Amino acid sequence: MTLPTPPEHLETTGARFAAEPTDQEAAAHVRQMFDTIAPTYDRLNHLLSIGLDRWWWTRAARAFGPLLARPEARIVDLCCGTGDMTSALLRLRPSTPGTSPVTGVDFSPEMLSRARSKHARANATFVEADALHLPFADSSVDLITAAFGFRNLANYEEGLAELHRVLRPGGQLGILEANQPGGLLGLGYNLYFRGILPRLGGLLSRAPAAYRYLPASVGRFPRPPRMLELLRASGFRDASWTSYTFGVTGLFRATK
């Protein structure tokens, strides 16, 4: 199955699993999909990324090292899944008593069940919540990260507005996301990402629709120039994008 790449100027509100007409229907289907693939999620992430996912999480966490070193800092890992980005953040948190825990947030109960098991002895808490309606007070969080999950939000602009709401003035945002590189590298990337990966992921997970959704979700997600525009329009400053692995992924950073 060949998935078309939308033109750069196409406006998309957010993720769509099956061309749903409303944000609510889209979110429900994406949640159900993640519940379905939760048992094989970690193994397939490592396999299909050739192990690079661990390096991406670690590099993204290190970008916020000074903030993570502050024991009192309130850290939220949004769309945490099974908690791999949470783990990368925790490795840079102080081990002293009284250090504020990292809070992982996800809307998939099956993903959160695995996150809690993996972090049973860690200084972390996990909350089931919709990223568009976070259970945090205004201006109460110092750092929000989202690793390969923000593109699954049903509405990107509403998501950024909600993150801006809960961050303190001066608080930082880090969104680690997949990207589509151009040129000759892009040709090889598309062959793997749109051809091989969906078939292999679908076979091993027994959820082929989920792994057809994966490249489609990247195709819908705004390219870096457009995403930076959305960040600035949402009230963030110092918005930037750092390319990882020749542009296959990258880190968006911004400050409230």
Is residue 200 situated within a structural domain? yes
Is residue 142 situated within a structural domain? yes
Is residue 8 situated within a structural domain? no
> Tens of pLDDT along 193-234?
888 888 988 888 888 998 899 888 998 999 999 999 999 999
- Angle at which helix 197-205 crosses helix 208-220, to 10 degrees, equals 140
pLDDT category of residue 158 using cuts at 50, 70 and 90: very high
Q: What is the pLDDT of residue 91?
A: 98
Lowest mean per-residue pLDDT among 36-45, 57-66, 137-146? 36-45
Strands 75-78, 102-106: pairing is parallel
7 pLDDT more than 60: no
- Total-model pTM: 0.91
Residue 82 sits in a domain of what CATH number?
3.40.50.150
pLDDT category of residue 12 using cuts at 50, 70 and 90: low
Residue indicated by tokens 């200084």 = 123
Greater model confidence, 192 or 252:
252
Q: What is the pLDDT of residue 18?
A: 82
19 pLDDT more than 90: no
Is residue 5 situated within a structural domain? no
Cβ atoms within 10 Å of 72's Cβ, excluding its own: 9
Is residue 1 situated within a structural domain? no
SS3 121: coil
Which H or E run contains 163?
helix 156-166
Is residue 16 situated within a structural domain? no
Q: What is the pLDDT of residue 225?
A: 96
189 pLDDT more than 90: no
Q: Give CA separation, 21 vs 24, 31, 219, in Å.
A: 9, 16, 18
11 pLDDT more than 60: no
9 pLDDT more than 50: no
Provide the mean pLDDT of the chain.
91
Q: State the number of CA atoms in the 13 A half-sphere of 6 facing the CB.
A: 14
Q: Using alpha carbons only, what angle is made at residue 235 by residues 24 and 157, rounded to the nearest 5 degrees?
A: 20
Give the residue among 2, 17, 11, 247 at the shortest CA–CA distance from 153: 17
> Tens of pLDDT along 130-153?
999 999 999 999 999 999 999 999
The mean pLDDT of 223-246, rounded to a whole number, is: 97
The mean pLDDT of 25-48, rounded to a whole number, is: 91
The mean pLDDT of 11-31, rounded to a whole number, is: 85
> Tens of pLDDT along 99-131?
999 999 999 999 999 999 999 999 999 999 999
Is residue 15 situated within a structural domain? no
Range of the domain at 149: 23-255
Query: Three-class SS string for 195-250?
Result: HHHHHHHHHHHCCHHHHHHHHHHHHHCCCHHHHHHHHHHCCCEEEEEEEEHHHCEE
Is residue 86 situated within a structural domain? yes
| The one-letter amino acid at 148 | F
The total domain count for the chain is 1
